[in-house]
Amino acid sequence: EPEVTQTPSHQVTQMGQEVILRCVPISNHLYFYWYRQILGQKVEFLVSFYNNEISEKSEIFDDQFSVERPDGSNFTLKIRSTKLEDSAMYFCASSDSPILDEQFFGPGTRLTVL
């Protein structure tokens, strides 16, 4: 069964460093998303991406964040200068339609900022 994969599973970084979280969505999906979950909190929407551009972003997704689909398979989330409060689980998701009736999530990358 096709699945969304994410690498790495755990990333530890120093405050102020740049990190890139990688995702490989399901191959025939066209809509891609990043969410994050701070420990003990709810899953929060960050950004949606379609046709090589951002279609929607939340207020969390500020200038420190960027997304890219550098090739036909990867979908990346970059945080330019990490802050302590960026420590969270980051989930990538993909879907074959924009109506969010069903999304497929990856296993997540746990980001720890020291």
Partner 1 sequence: DQQVKQNSPSLSVQEGRISILNCDYTNSMFDYFLWYKKYPAEGPTFLISISSIKDKNEDGRFTVFLNKSAKHLSLHIVPSQPGDSAVYFCAARVYSGAGSYQLTFGKGTKLSVIP
- Residues of this chain that interact with partner 1 (CB under 8 A) are 4, 6, 9, 35, 40-45, 48, 55-56, 58, 91, 93, 98-108
C-beta closer to partner 1: residue 23 or 79: 23
Minimum distance from residue 41 beta carbon to partner 1 (Å):
6
C-beta closer to partner 1: residue 87 or 103: 103
Closest CA relative to residue 103, chosen from 26, 44, 20: 26
What torsion, rounded to 10 degrees, do the Cα atoms 57, 67, 92, 85 define? -70
C-beta closer to partner 1: residue 40 or 72: 40
Cα separation, 20 vs 79, in Å, equals: 7
Minimum distance from residue 81 beta carbon to partner 1 (Å):
26
C-beta closer to partner 1: residue 20 or 43: 43
